[in-house]
Structure 1
């Protein structure tokens, strides 16, 4: 059993998988979520269930937060009722949610007043890689704090990259999401064109995954697209949130990102068609509709 006591707030599909791996790595674990079902599952794995986010803070050396957006981050961490309200001086808060660098800085300024360190560590890889602890973690934080929590981070994902100071993890995640969000749309467009040309989609997959047009998105998501399996792993709504962060940053930096702007609007159109809670690859259905398929 490890000695560092870890708290985890947010047990959605990603968070529950991440917390499960922390428990399996031997860390004393305290968890909190607003829903009872994942708490019961974690309790069976030996985790302690806290009655509030603040209680998680009181019982932990390191608190990890994995919730949907900045509003939920604030509810989970800000004093008096959030984790920071209960955390001791010298402990660490790790934010794995995807928010903006400015959001992280806002939380970090509050934490600093309480003598608490912050690491921002958004993740990439989706639910399946969360389950097998092979996520990529894009870590921003002070060298000593990151080093102190390195083993905890590695329990969550085998690919841990310390990319810079607090906030730089979120900046790197934006760069990643530019590529991921556009690649999903590109794969969907390619599949639609192939359909129009009468090419079997499995043949497209077999050929392109061995050609220069391949990508991890095609390799991982292509089979689901071909099978028309739109059960959500990463939803359209989540990618709207992520690409919305990119658009806000583009405006602040006053730089043109025309492809990303178009991609953002495509996901918004998908949500307008009722696909918000479907998997992000359901943009394939939207583009099929546009193509008259």
Structure 2
């Protein structure tokens, strides 16, 4: 078994760390808030007081932090990975960041004697808890093969998609599809409710046909109940759609529906809903339809 450092023990990082412990690895976690580190220790892992302390003796280093500047700070800061990791260690960035930043940081890591993989994940909090994440991995094929046992402890569908930065590009496409699907599911549910259809029955039959998708499976129940406990926050999906729009512009690719969905996500966030689950796009559909939010039990 390997010594694995995890930097960032949030909604996704903590359950990933716990699953690595369950797989028998020696897991050292660092998080800015101590309570998350304490939860890892309770699960059998070890806590670190700093990034440097976490990575010093690690064979594999996983970063799971919110955005491109956060990854860069963790990697290149005075207390960071490049300054304190041992030569030959594998750095696996599971964050979702800009592909160009990912490529640049991978080159910096390689120059410092580390082996870099960008390995963003999809599946939300539940996927992280169940170790069923989909992981899209960019980097050298040999490094991917070496890191595969670590990734298999946290994910189910794990695919090498190309050189450095490719994982982030595929994740951007993933976030484009997910946001668009959530928006369409939200519109469908509001449409069904307006016609006073038995929405639970409607979701069941829709999920069994060509309209079936993971959003219906995992999110529709909470959307109908108007419970938006964050499995993936609006704030983060807003950030990810910014990555998508910028990358599409750079490539000269038109994404009209994606760009419109990005605006809707941004509007939802601007109205103060950034901490809700991204399925809260339903609230915006109601607002645009002139429907006042009501207790779903009254429908």
Q: Which TM-score applies when normalising by structure 1?
A: 0.96
User: 2:163 corresponds to which residue?
Assistant: 165
Tell me, yes or no, if structure 1 residue 290 matches structure 2 residue 276. Answer: no
For the residue of structure 2 that corresponds to 1:162, the secondary structure is: strand
CA deviation digits over 1:174-193, x for unaligned, max 9? 11111101000000011111
* Displacement after TM superposition at 1:100 (Å): 1.5
| Cα distance in structure 2, aligned partners of 1:46 and 1:198 | 50
The structure 2 residue matched to 1:48, chosen from 30, 46, 49, is: 46
CA contact (8 A) 2:56 2:86 kept: yes
CA contact (8 A) 2:5 2:28 kept: yes
Q: Equivalent residues in 2 for 1:147-158 (5 A)? A: 147-158=145-156
CA RMSD between the two structures: 1.1
| Cα distance in structure 2, aligned partners of 1:32 and 1:165 | 28
* Displacement after TM superposition at 1:45 (Å): 2.3
| Cα distance in structure 2, aligned partners of 1:79 and 1:234 | 27
Q: Equivalent residues in 2 for 1:176-215 (5 A)? A: 176-215=174-213
Q: Equivalent residues in 2 for 1:52-91 (5 A)? A: 52-91=50-89
| Cα distance in structure 1, aligned partners of 2:220 and 2:92 | 33
The structure 2 residue matched to 1:35, chosen from 33, 36, 39, is: 33
* Displacement after TM superposition at 1:27 (Å): 0.7
| Cα distance in structure 1, aligned partners of 2:195 and 2:33 | 48
* Displacement after TM superposition at 1:46 (Å): 2.6
Tell me, yes or no, if structure 1 residue 7 matches structure 2 residue 5. Answer: yes
The structure 1 residue matched to 2:104, chosen from 106, 116, 133, is: 106
| Cα distance in structure 1, aligned partners of 2:73 and 2:228 | 31
Unaligned runs of 5+ in 1: none
| Cα distance in structure 2, aligned partners of 1:174 and 1:40 | 32
| Cα distance in structure 2, aligned partners of 1:45 and 1:206 | 37
Aligned length: 291
CA deviation digits over 1:9-32, x for unaligned, max 9? 000010000000011111111110
* Displacement after TM superposition at 1:211 (Å): 2.2
User: 1:23 corresponds to which residue?
Assistant: 21
The structure 2 residue matched to 1:224, chosen from 212, 218, 222, is: 222
* Displacement after TM superposition at 1:79 (Å): 4.0
User: 1:244 corresponds to which residue?
Assistant: 242
CA contact (8 A) 2:138 2:164 kept: yes
CA contact (8 A) 1:74 1:82 kept: no
For the residue of structure 2 that corresponds to 1:13, the secondary structure is: coil
| Cα distance in structure 1, aligned partners of 2:28 and 2:82 | 15
CA contact (8 A) 2:57 2:86 kept: no
CA contact (8 A) 1:6 1:64 kept: yes
Tell me, yes or no, if structure 1 residue 124 matches structure 2 residue 98. Answer: no
CA contact (8 A) 1:56 1:86 kept: no
| Cα distance in structure 1, aligned partners of 2:275 and 2:134 | 24
For the residue of structure 1 that corresponds to 2:97, the secondary structure is: coil
User: 1:257 corresponds to which residue?
Assistant: 255
User: 2:294 corresponds to which residue?
Assistant: none
